[in-house]
């Protein structure tokens, strides 16, 4: 298995896996956003980056992360947003290899923290993650801002 940076020739294979990933989460990511994500992945100057796992010449999985500054640490933090392995090759160490790779990069590049979220009920993923660290007790609050703006408008309309 090889873990490497993606290049433009990987687009079709990445898109196949990406659609498996969005199906797994039952989300409909608009085509324009998928295209933007791929272009961000390929932009060497942006904060988003991906690592690709290749097995026998085929793309078997990906990790997509964003590097950002933090108020709590001097060095960058790496947020692993998307981790996905082709279902035909799960259980053979690809997911673990993608996380190990990020830990190696963190050490090499001086990042201060690697973190990610998962669904509390995603037992398969958590069995893997529990090998690295214990989950903390933080709970996520997330507001799709278009809903919030609509809500704000309707509140204002109601108030007059
Ligand atoms: C989570 C995921 C990335 C793990 O990838 P993977 O390549 O199978 O991971 P690894 O082979 O390195 O580790 C697999 C571990 O998961 C657990 N596991 C439990 N059931 C499993 C199954 N049916 N298949 C594979 N792994 C399973 C085991 O703990 C296994 O460790 P073991 O090999 O020591 O038994 C992969 O299952 C996946 O893409 N799932 C769908 C998307 C997803 O949930 N992504 C994470 C979102 S945060």
* Atom of ligand 1 lying closest to residue 118 CA: 48
* Residues 65, 79 contacting (CB under 8 angstroms): yes
Which ligand 1 atom minimizes the distance to the CA of 84? Answer: 39
Q: What is the pLDDT along the chain (160 residues), one digit of tens a residue?
A: 999 999 999 999 999 999 999 999 999 999 999 999 999 999 999 999 999 999 999 999 999 999 999 999 999 999 999 999 999 999 999 999 999 999 999 999 999 999 999 999 999 999 999 999 999 999 999 998 876 777 677 766 676 5
Ligand 1 binding pocket includes 118 (Cβ within 6 Å): yes
For residues 145 and 114, give the distance between their C-alpha atoms in angstroms, rounded to a whole number.
26
Cα of 160 vs centre of ligand 1, distance in Å, is 53
Domains recognised in the chain with CATH numbers:
2-159 (3.40.630.30)
The model's pLDDT over 45-87, given as tens digits with 9 standing for 90+, comes to 999 999 999 999 999 999 999 999 999 999 999 999 999 999 9
Pairing label, strands 48-55, 113-115: unpaired
Tell me what pLDDT residue 151 has. 66
Check residue 156 and give its pLDDT: 65
Report the number of secondary-structure helices (H) and strands (E) in the chain: 5, 5
Degrees to nearest 5, angle at CA 98 with 55 and 9 = 55
Closest CA to 111 of 77, 71, 65: 77
Question: Which of 16, 60, 128, 140 to mutate for ligand 1's pocket (most ligand atoms within 8 Å of CB)?
Answer: 128
Q: Which residue in 32, 21, 27 sits closest to 59, CA to CA? A: 21
Ligand 1 within 6 A of CB of 93? yes
The pLDDT value recorded for residue 71 is 98
Q: What is the pLDDT of residue 160?
A: 57
Nearest residue by C-alpha to atom 41 in ligand 1:
84
Report the candidate in 22, 9, 4 with the shortest Cα–Cα distance to residue 84: 22
Kindly state if the Cβ of 22 falls inside 6 Å of ligand 1: no
């Amino acid at each position: 298995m090889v873990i490497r940076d993606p290049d433009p020739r990987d687009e079709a294979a990445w898109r196949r896996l990406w659609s498996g990933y969005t199906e797994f989460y039952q989300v409909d990511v608009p085509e324009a956003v998928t295209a933007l994500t791929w272009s961000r992945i390929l932009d060497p100057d942006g904060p988003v980056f991906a690592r690709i796992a290749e097995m026998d010449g085929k793309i078997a999985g990906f990790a997509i992360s964003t590097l950002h500054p933090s108020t709590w640490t001097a060095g960058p933090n790496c947020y692993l947003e998307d981790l996905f392995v082709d279902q035909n090759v799960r259980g053979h160490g690809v997911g673990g290899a993608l996380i190990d790779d990020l830990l190696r990069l963190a050490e090499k590049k001086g990042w201060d923290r690697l973190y990610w979220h998962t669904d509390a009920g995603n037992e398969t993923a958590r069995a893997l993650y529990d090998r690295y660290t214990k989950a903390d007790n933080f709970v996520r609050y997330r507001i799709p801002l278009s809903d919030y703006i609509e809500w704000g408008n309707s509140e204002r309309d109601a108030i007059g």
